[in-house]
Amino acid sequence: MMNGFQTIKSRSKASVPSLITLTGMSFGFFSILATGTGHIETALWLIVYAALTDKLDGFAARRLDVVSEIGMQLDSLSDLITFGLAPAVAVMGLAVLKWHIPVLTPLGVFFTASSLTFLWAGAIRLAKFNVATHEDHEHFIGVATTHSAALLATMGLTALKYHWGEWFQGLAPAMYFTMASLMLSHVLIPKLGKGDSKVFRYAQAVLIPIVFIVAILQRFPEFLFVLAVIYLSVGFWETATRKANARQGQM
């Protein structure tokens, strides 16, 4: 009797991270549906919610000590839908449904190419991650799909809030191409909760609860966008510093 209870308890505990992952995947699914029905702002907020959820499944798996190969594969498949396909569909929704840009015009082709490139880059990154034999426990090698999607979603939300449609039409495809290339780059992006910097850890402790509150209230997307850019900038700075130190060491 006790063994059966322990088995049920163990399986229930092991299922928690997967349920969180599936919740994030559901956000991606509903984001695609929202884009298809013309609710672009809702679609972009759902991508933000998925990004926040993505940080919880790994945390839960580590705290419950139930990290598994199946869980990692499920997380990767979820990321492809939520942070690859959903943002790619959203940019086409912005172009075709929000700004009424015909697909067969030069700008429409530019939007299509950028969304496909972003999706392809996300798929390639996740595939490379799945077969990687070495992991940097303190950094992401290249910008994570989660961060890329969140940055683009908050940029879109900021443009919608301030009615920057004409300006954003030219910038959006360029940003999708840029984030696609950064996902496959060797830029070092520090992982949350890792590293020796006390300032970085304290900043996370203060900002993460604020981020969740801002997202739940669906207010101040510009704050989330600026925060995503700053986080990316920290990675650029750290990468440049490492390269400079390596060159000095070779002299």
What's the pLDDT tens digit per position in 16-36? 777 888 898 999 999 999 999
| pLDDT tens by residue, 98-141 | 888 888 888 888 889 999 999 999 999 998 887 776 666 777 88
pLDDT band at residue 87 using 50, 70 and 90 as cut-offs: very high
CA–CA distance, 57 with 23 (Å, rounded to integer):
10
H helices of the chain, in order, are 2-36, 40-64, 69-79, 86-93, 106-131, 145-161, 165-183, 198-217, 221-250
pTM: 0.86
Burial class (CB in 10 A: 0-12, 13-18, 19+), 196: exposed
Higher pLDDT, 97 or 41: 41
Domain-by-domain residue ranges, the chain?
11-250
Class of domain 11-250: mainly alpha
Query: How does DSSP classify residue 78?
Result: H
Dihedral pair phi/psi, residue 36, rounded to 5°: -65, -25
116: left (phi over 0), alpha (psi -120 to 50) or beta: alpha
